[in-house]
Structure 1
Amino acid sequence: MHMDPHLLRTFVAVTRCGSFSRAADELGYTQSAVSQHIAALESDLGTALLHRRPVAPTPEGQRLLEHAGPILVRLDAARAEITKMVEAPPDRLVVGLSPLAFMPDIVAANHVRVLPRADVVTGVAQGTLDLGLVDGVATASDPLNLPDVAPLATVGVAERPLVVVFPADHPLARRKRINLVDLSDAQWIDAPESAIPLAQLRSASGTDGFRAALRYEGTHVPGLLEMAAAGHGLALLPQHMVDGVPAVPITRLVHRVELLSMPGRSGVR
């Protein structure tokens, strides 16, 4: 079996767009060419991958979709790495940061992009970013659990305490320290761009708790702190970002920042 990456890209586009014609417009193909790509892929695998009306993946197609994303990212990563080996160094150093990963003394960047954590990892792998700084929750001295999209070089550059922000009248606000899992049934603010995302809290604690009482789609941390202090929900942040509101340190877990790069390329001072 030979799986053509061009056919895979077409398949991913059709499933994302939910339409052969919209996928054709996105890819710059004719609709007939898109249909031929899907038919060739189904013939190669010996099974139907898409329902046609409406357009949606079959169970086999859904399974292929789970594999296709990482496969295509790795192909892009390989192309980017080889290209950078033969090209002259760029005049511009592009660094991607996840929302809580700002480290001004780590890289000599002249172009900075703040992106979702997964996009920083993919951007470094695909070569759209020269370096990445990505953050997350980890046990002290343990590496972050990052998507396996390419053989990236990772260096831990910071580990800081994590604190939970409480309203002043909350019964736990005067605790010296607290275990994260003890707060799994509490009400939280879902603020993925200005606090530790709730999905990371579930992963770190091994529970399916940490339900959101409020969704905050913003990057203004002082505003988030005011909402937490007013009782709209709890929030978990690095200690250095919390000032003037009641906060209790978390046991065992830290906020970790890692520098990502393709092997052989570095912007670390």
Structure 2
Amino acid sequence: MLMDMDPHLLRTFVTVSRLASFSAAARELGYTQSAVSQHIAALENDLGTPLLSRRPVAPTRAGERLLEHAGSLLLRLDAARADLARLTAEPAGGAVTLAASPLAAAHPGILAALPPTSVTLHVIPRDEVPAAVATGAADLGVADGLAAPNDPLPLPDMARLTASALGTARGLTEDPLTVLFPADHPLARRARTGLRLDDLVDARWIDAPAAGFPLQRLRAAHGSYGFRPALRYDGTDVRTLAALAAAGHGLTLLPATAAAATPGGVAVPLAGSRLVHRTELVTAGEPTGAAGELVRRLSRAV
């Protein structure tokens, strides 16, 4: 049944569910509101069950279950379309689009590798980088995350999506982790000796899933339910996150390269940890032209 589903109808359903509005979905998709209603009705008729309640607009139980499948289905379709387009594309010209997660984009080695012209840098949440490359929205991607030394980052299972390690299996960079404290914090005096995560389980943290590391990842790595959030930051600017920590709004975990130059903050190394900050280059197929040259620049710079 799902294999026969019209992807246009499915995309309309996902958009209406996300916006909780038929009219807003119509504006975003460029349809009339009547067309959106017809799409939803056709999909419900095809599946034989209501998918959306109308007042208020919200997924039904069946609609919620369909949403669990819809994102990956549409992503794979977009990835397949982009993959086929690459087979017939003209040789790449002089411009390249690089999608990078906030912490990856803040890495000085990666910034230094960018050529002076003809690069568009899109800073997006880390979880969106592989999809941007797979669907052709970006020529290359740089993703980051917490990992054990030499362990690759997990990437979605999409056609032809690969993590290019530039001839090795170690990605681009692996940087030590630090905890950023205000300069007057008592634990800031541990800058030379370092701290263990065990020492910080009961501290208050900044939850910054886009700009930093999700606290749930820290909990999973430590195997505890600590690391309580004092403040949530939903932005993607790493400097703002560091400034919040330096001002005493909560602790944050940052790679040493990102924490070193924060005014008013002290970066204390994370000691005895099996975690590093890892960045990896994400490609789809073999980069050529300007994209291939950027891969070579990255390999030399980092």
- Give the TM-score of the pair, scaled to structure 2: 0.78
1:85-234 → structure 2 map (5 Å cutoff): 85-91=87-93, 92-102=95-105, 103-104=110-111, 110-154=119-163, 155=165, 156-167=171-182, 168-171=184-187, 173-174=189-190, 176-180=193-197, 182-192=199-209, 194-216=211-233, 217=235, 219=237, 221=239, 224-225=241-242, 227-234=244-251
Q: Write out per-residue CA displacement over residues 8-35 of structure 1, whole angstroms, 9 at most, x where no aligned residue.
A: 0111111122122322232233333322
Structure 1 unaligned residues grouped into runs of 5+: none
Q: 2:139 corresponds to which letter in structure 1?
A: D
Q: Provide the residue aligned with 1:245 in structure 2.
A: 266
Q: Provide the residue aligned with 2:168 in structure 1.
A: none
Number of equivalences: 268
Q: Provide the residue aligned with 1:84 in structure 2.
A: 86
Structure 2 unaligned residues grouped into runs of 5+: 166-170, 297-302
Is structure 2 residue 275 aligned with structure 1 residue 260?
Answer: no
Q: In structure 2, what is the Cα distance between the partners aligned to 1:5 and 1:236?
A: 41
Distance 1:184 1:64, change over 3 A: farther
SS in structure 2 at match of 1:51: strand
Is structure 2 residue 63 aligned with structure 1 residue 61?
Answer: yes
1:18-97 → structure 2 map (5 Å cutoff): 18-91=20-93, 92-97=95-100
Contact 1:196 1:236 in 2 (8 A): yes
Q: In structure 1, what is the Cα distance between the partners aligned to 2:159 and 2:216?
A: 23
- Give the TM-score of the pair, scaled to structure 1: 0.87
Alignment RMSD (CA, Å): 2.6
Distance 1:62 1:254, change over 3 A: same
- Of Structure 1 and Structure 2, the greater helix share is in 2
Identity of aligned residues (%): 54
| Structure 1 consecutive aligned stretches of length 4 or more whose deviation exceeds 6 Å | none
SS in structure 2 at match of 1:245: strand
Q: Which moved more, 1:247-256 or 1:209-218?
A: 209-218
Distance 1:72 1:166, change over 3 A: same
Distance 1:85 1:164, change over 3 A: same
